[in-house]
Copies of this chain bind each other. A is one copy, B any other.
């Protein structure tokens, strides 16, 4: 019982959410809730304490399923209903669906995928267009001032414009939509795992994410746009799936069949894939990214639809770029989307190339895991600052952008000027925005190689580093300085309260790392340093993000060269293996740090030691098939639970029999419609005729009805309501002696929200508890059974990556 009290004491948020499997007798928890309600200040204090608790890494108590860090704010969270609620209303609706109906449903589904793809492509295009123009204009002005020798003014322009852009993004994020902060991939990943946080897919978040991302990337911060585009794609998908905004009466009747979490999940998966496809022009990579990294459930049919979506992204992007070909899009076009054609026509590699490539992979893995380690530490620090208030968030962003600007402008001064190569096709030094040979402070016919790296947009720098035949263009010290600087700038730029992706900084740092390795140990190898840069990116991505197949395909699609496949594979496999020995992947880490109750796909070994009854706590709050309104209202008001077993009881039957499970959301619909009757005899089963299936449509992400919004008269409170037609008669069940590991497999594979626990012996109540997501969280289980912590937990932590392969 101890951890349960702790939970009650921890969160005043308990009223907003639930998923608590076994409602206690309401005394304890309602006391805390009421206290929290009466005292707003105390609520804020508790929230803050909880946040600090979360961030300090103490996570032994059962709090994970209550609140989580979404963006830069702490929010209450809920689980999603992926299970089909097979009640009478659903069945009637189902039987009424004719063939035309089904065809329309399928047609709309594909139309939605098309729209998601097209809009994600448009978003990706707008993001690139914005960045190229804003950052381009900044660099043109600065470069012109540099050419004129006015270095001070140049620095002032550079600093002020970067500062302005960063603060614009930060203010937008902090004051309009805190959920838009960060990359958004952890949120999408958690959503697809069944965790619903409010506002992560709202229209506001979408707009702030897109605009903020353009500003943040343009401000020369070491942040990327791939992560934000994934979030943008998911947002677009979710908003389309919601069928427009009901607030503005923009909802469409046809779309009502999509108002459930299952269809929304599919769409969001497609949207996430479309985001990567739009960011890297990698349609196949996008599908694989959605499959490998973000989604928790996958079906063959979904593969096809995701593929269709990313194909649409590719087609629309191509059309938009063609439109821009004749200089109609300002500075866009020269730089363009990230698309690095590695120009060496035919890549050959031999046995002598293997040692440097393997070395690259090994150290890439080490650097990648350290990247994750440092990122974790910096994020914990940042969160301690961020929680002090909005001003502190802005201050932090200001400090980081000023430091970054100083770095980018200051560091190139330490490099010596190099004479222009005579045999280059490019202008040297390059005047204006893009180009490999930045003049910076140098004389004519000379260039500053460090400025070519620092004083550029990230995309252009990556292109420089990837370019073939430029082995002598950079000095080793320049590459080293750039590598170290971008490694840490990337770490310090993530975690600010603005949209920021992780892909591009890692690719950039990895490219520098690869060149460095190529310079140091590649002398025997026949590989070009540009190729080393590509492999370096792969190594660092593999070490940090630990994806293999999708990264491999993304890199191949980025560089448009399939012949590199075996080398890229090799590097990715090595770096992932090495890094897995140290820590978890970066998204896993972010999901944990944010406190999402993410349900892992594999079973922890200690779960085999426990049976379901070891984690279920009672007594349970159940309803009768025909229940008094007052009782329902009381239970809904005093608990936060979202599912209640419905039990038919002795007056009507010999012994109590489990009828099914009813959801809080459906109870609220029932109560709002007030279709009550006077006595508790069974109604004529026509109760469901007063409702259309639309009434039970699931509302959009993070939106929930509240019992407090419904008023009841004293007379109504004494009436009865027949729950049978609205009860899911096919809830999944386990027997209480089932091993927890197997219950976890069932819960995870089928995608449940509630799992009923039946008694072993027939002499007891027909249901003894409900398992929810939070009962499978390691913190909860180890809180209930501390002896597991002593005996097995350490081993489990150490061998996690190895163990995850066991099941």
Contacts and interface: CB of A to CB of B under 8 A. Distances in A.
Given A284-B553, A737-B730, A307 B569 contact: yes
Given A735-B733, A742-B730, A103 B314 contact: no
A650 interface: no
> Do most interface residues of chain A lie in helix, strand or loop, or is the interface mixed?
helix
A752 to B, nearest CB: 10
A84 B799 CA distance: 21
A710 interface: no
A557 B556 CA distance: 11
A106 B601 contact: no
Contact of A562 (B105, B552, B560): B560
A422 interface: no
Given A102-B802, A729-B739, A552 B307 contact: yes
27 contacts: A94-B605, A102-B803, A105-B806, A106-B802, A106-B806, A109-B805, A283-B566, A283-B569, A284-B552, A292-B300, A301-B805, A305-B805, A307-B552, A311-B569, A311-B570, A311-B573, A556-B562, A657-B762, A732-B734, A732-B742, A733-B733, A733-B738, A733-B758, A745-B750, A746-B750, A749-B750, A762-B762
Contacts of A739: 86, 729-730
A256 to B, nearest CB: 15
A299 interface: yes
B311 A806 contact: no
Copies in the complex: 2
A742 B749 CA distance: 13
A342 to B, nearest CB: 12
Interface residues of A, number: 82
Nearest to A350: B322
Contacts of A84: 741-742
Q: Which 9 pairs across A and B sit closest by C-beta, in order of nearness?
A: A762-B762, A311-B569, A749-B749, A730-B739, A730-B742, A730-B738, A314-B566, A307-B549, A106-B802
B746 A737 contact: no
Interface of A: 84, 86, 91, 94, 99, 102-103, 105-106, 109, 283-284, 287, 291-292, 298-301, 303-305, 307-308, 311, 314-315, 318, 548-549, 552-553, 556-557, 560-563, 565-566, 569-570, 573, 576, 601-602, 605, 608, 611, 654-655, 657-658, 729-730, 732-735, 737-739, 741-742, 745-746, 749-750, 758, 760-763, 766, 795, 798-799, 802-806
A292 B86 CA distance: 30
Contact of A761 (B552, B602, B655, B732): B655
Contacts of A103: 799, 802
A601 B766 CA distance: 32
A304 B569 contact: no
A299 B745 CA distance: 12
B560 A761 contact: no
A509 to B, nearest CB: 23
Contacts of A802: 102-103, 106
Contact of A304 (B314, B548, B608, B758): B548
A325 to B, nearest CB: 12
Nearest to A549: B307
Nearest to A762: B762
A102 B796 CA distance: 11
Contacts of A307: 548-549, 552, 569, 573
A608 B766 CA distance: 24
A761 to B, nearest CB: 6
Nearest to A558: B562
A760 B103 CA distance: 37
B106 A549 contact: no
Nearest to A560: B562
Contacts of A300: 292, 601
Question: Most chain-B Cβ atoms within 10 A of its Cβ — which of A109, A287, A805?
Answer: A805
B758 A758 contact: yes
A654 B596 CA distance: 45
Nearest to A729: B737
Contacts of A105: 806
A732 B750 CA distance: 13
Given A94-B608, A608-B91, A742-B86, A283 B657 contact: no
